[in-house]
């Protein structure tokens, strides 16, 4: 049986045991922090958020052990800017990286985070934390490299275009390339995410005797849609009526001598494969939980789980079939709720009440000040985030955001804002021939954003437009 499936079963046994002998508890003064980030996973892909087809037992159990947020938002509607908001505590009107922009002709990777950026990892490193990042970075080489931005150890993909392939020829290990023998563009020997997971577990093992921060931005389930044909895949093989996703589709090339590395492979059974990728995430989470428990670190470890943006229909994925965006409108790249609402689960035994749920409105840029308060670290200056530790602790004195703001310069410019129950969405801002009109929705009565009520509420529209203007410092790299 595949190793990951064994892990999934063993972790479930861990969760089901009530009378096992407890290991000696590590008594670090500062809590360990593990932040796990899925890539293009919809809020509706988890059983704890209503998924009925795909199995996510470890994530569901994680939600049962801690707090589930129902109004948590990702930093952006695509990968790099979402991660930039997470690392800096600044929304996309202020954070340096506001889109998926390549570093330049002949250069590998994306536009780098500036050297002067203060990241979450640097903040914790100053507090004596061992810092490790395992998965997809997407925030540049050189000055933007994870090692330059506060991480002691980095293993995974720096360039997010290479992360379009799960059988790449190499992964980055700090400043070196780790060759994945057998992955030559035609042969597929090593599934990259399995290899990354090994390094994640080793980092936890190696740093069990001191406080650590493990940032685990998984590549899954971002396209390409591909999975080893193991026991996880067999859970779903033959369960669905399938339409193959082939090379006839745009942006697709198969493994072979003429493969384009940054495109996606075709897939014979896309529904079964996507479901297997989600359950594989769950298996990795189960392995992390089992390791933390084995080392006696449970009570002194904060575990958080989220996704970087809404679900994607690319590469053969079927978000409508699985109801990946739940009852929300939009997908990845949209600034409607379906592109921005994220699952968020936080667990800290004996601190966060088990089985609790919160409708507190929060976003990725709140993670920096929240972890800062948890660890007594110095919060960076001029951030947009607000600590939601009071909410996690079940306290009433929680400070609220005046508003949440997003901007995105693709497709002639997009902006969105949420203030209380009001959601403003503005597309095609830069289109001089046919500029878009401002849309307004009342999320308390129209969670699916179906009825634009901008014409009936001109004063609210005026207020939100003014807040949008105030929220953004212009960016030469990502202009709107």
Distance between CA atoms of residues 41 and 110, nearest Å: 22
pLDDT tens digits along 393-437: 999 999 999 999 999 999 899 999 999 999 999 999 999 889 899
Give the chain's length. Answer: 480
Residue 380 belongs to domain spanning: 3-401
289 and 410 part of one domain: no
Q: What is the mean pLDDT of the chain?
A: 94
CB of 339 closer than 8 Å to CB of 78: no
In the chain, the number of structural domains is 2
381 and 440 part of one domain: no
Q: What is the pLDDT of residue 411?
A: 87
Distance between CA atoms of residues 158 and 146, nearest Å: 8
- pLDDT at residue 388 is higher than 80: yes
222 and 118 part of one domain: yes
Q: Cα torsion at 132, 308, 178, 199 (round to 10°)? A: 40
Measured in degrees and rounded to the nearest 5, phi and psi for residue 144 equal -90, -5
- pLDDT at residue 28 is higher than 70: no
Closest Cα partner for 122 from 81, 164, 152?
A: 152
Query: If you average pLDDT over residues 127-133, what whole number do you get?
Result: 98
194 and 87 part of one domain: yes
Distance between CA atoms of residues 304 and 291, nearest Å: 16
- The pLDDT confidence band at residue 29, using thresholds 50, 70 and 90, is confident
Token pair listed for 76? 């952006």
Q: What is the pLDDT of residue 3?
A: 54
- In the chain, the percentage of residues whose pLDDT exceeds 70 is 94
CATH number, domain at 425?
3.30.1120.10
Q: Who contacts 450 (Cβ-Cβ below 8 Å, separation ≥6)?
A: 329
CB of 285 closer than 8 Å to CB of 36: yes
Max Cα-Cα span within the chain: 70
- pLDDT at residue 1 is higher than 50: no
More confident site: 78 or 106: 78
Query: If you average pLDDT over residues 457-472, what whole number do you get?
Result: 98
- pLDDT at residue 15 is higher than 50: no
43 and 68 part of one domain: yes
Residue at token pair 């049962």:
64
pLDDT tens digits along 52-78: 999 999 999 999 999 999 999 999 999
388 and 243 part of one domain: yes
Distance between CA atoms of residues 364 and 366, nearest Å: 5
456 and 391 part of one domain: no
Query: If you average pLDDT over residues 3-11, what whole number do you get?
Result: 49
pTM for the model: 0.94
pLDDT tens digits along 164-193: 999 999 999 999 999 999 999 999 999 999
105 and 166 part of one domain: yes
Residue at token pair 């690319």:
314
Single residue among 401, 436, 453 that ends a domain in this structure: 401
- pLDDT at residue 232 is higher than 90: yes
CATH number, domain at 266?
3.40.720.10
- pLDDT at residue 220 is higher than 70: yes
- The pLDDT confidence band at residue 269, using thresholds 50, 70 and 90, is very high
- The pLDDT confidence band at residue 21, using thresholds 50, 70 and 90, is very low
Looking at 7-16, 195-204, 252-261, which range is the least confident one?
A: 7-16
- In the chain, the percentage of residues whose pLDDT exceeds 90 is 92
361 and 466 part of one domain: no
- pLDDT at residue 17 is higher than 90: no
Distance between CA atoms of residues 313 and 274, nearest Å: 11
More confident site: 145 or 29: 145
Closest Cα partner for 420 from 396, 398, 440, 402?
A: 402
- 396 to each of 69, 350, 392, 393, how far by Cα in Å? 16, 18, 10, 9
- The pLDDT confidence band at residue 6, using thresholds 50, 70 and 90, is very low
103 and 223 part of one domain: yes
- pLDDT at residue 471 is higher than 70: yes
């Amino acid at each position: 049986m595949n190793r990951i499936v064994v892990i999934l079963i063993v972790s479930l046994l861990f969760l089901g045991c009530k009378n096992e002998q407890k290991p000696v508890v590590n008594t670090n003064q500062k809590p360990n922090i593990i932040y796990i980030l899925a890539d293009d996973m919809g809020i509706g892909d988890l059983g704890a958020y209503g998924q009925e087809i795909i199995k996510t037992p470890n994530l569901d159990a994680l939600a049962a052990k801690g707090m589930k947020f129902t109004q948590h938002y990702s930093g952006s509607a695509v990968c790099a800017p979402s991660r930039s908001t997470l690392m800096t505590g600044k929304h996309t009107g202020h954070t340096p990286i506001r889109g998926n922009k390549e570093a330049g002709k002949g250069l590998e990777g994306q536009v780098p985070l500036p050297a002067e950026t203060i990241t979450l990892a640097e903040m914790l490193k100053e507090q004596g934390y061992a810092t490790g990042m395992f998965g997809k970075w997407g925030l540049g080489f050189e000055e933007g490299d994870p090692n330059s931005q506060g991480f002691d150890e980095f293993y995974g993909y720096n360039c997010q275009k290479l992360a379009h392939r799960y059988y790449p020829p190499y992964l980055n290990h700090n400043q070196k390339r780790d060759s994945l023998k057998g992955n030559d563009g035609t042969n597929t020997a090593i599934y990259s995410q399995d290899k990354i997971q090994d390094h994640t577990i080793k980092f936890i093992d190696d740093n069990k005797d001191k406080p650590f921060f493990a940032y685990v931005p998984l590549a899954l389930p971002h396209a390409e849609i591909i999975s080893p044909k193991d026991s996880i895949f067999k859970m779903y093989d033959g369960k669905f009526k399938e339409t193959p996703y082939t090379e006839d589709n745009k942006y697709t090339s198969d493994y072979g001598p003429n493969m384009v590395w940054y495109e996606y492979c075709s897939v014979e059974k896309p529904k079964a494969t996507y479901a297997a990728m989600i359950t594989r995430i769950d298996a990795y989470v189960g392995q992390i939980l089992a390791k933390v428990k084995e080392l006696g670190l449970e009570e002194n470890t904060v575990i958080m789980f989220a996704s970087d943006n809404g679900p994607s229909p690319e590469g053969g994925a079927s978000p409508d079939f699985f109801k990946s965006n739940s009852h929300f409108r939009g997908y990845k790249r949209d600034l409607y709720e379906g592109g921005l609402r994220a699952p968020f689960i936080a667990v800290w035994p004996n601190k966060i009440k088990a089985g609790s749920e919160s409708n507190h409105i929060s976003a990725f840029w709140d993670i920096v000040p929240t972890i800062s308060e948890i660890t007594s670290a110095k919060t960076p200056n001029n951030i947009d985030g607000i600590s939601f530790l009071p909410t996690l602790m079940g306290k009433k004195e929680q400070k609220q955001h005046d508003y949440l703001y997003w901007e995105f310069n693709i497709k002639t410019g997009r902006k969105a804002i949420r203030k209380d129950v009001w959601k403003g969405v503005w597309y095609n801002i830069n289109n001089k021939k046919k500029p878009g009109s401002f849309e307004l929705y009342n999320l308390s009565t129209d969670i699916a954003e179906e009825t634009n009520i901008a014409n009936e509420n001109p004063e609210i529209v005026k207020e939100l437009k003014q807040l949008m203007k105030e929220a953004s410092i212009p960016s030469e790299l990502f202009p709107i």
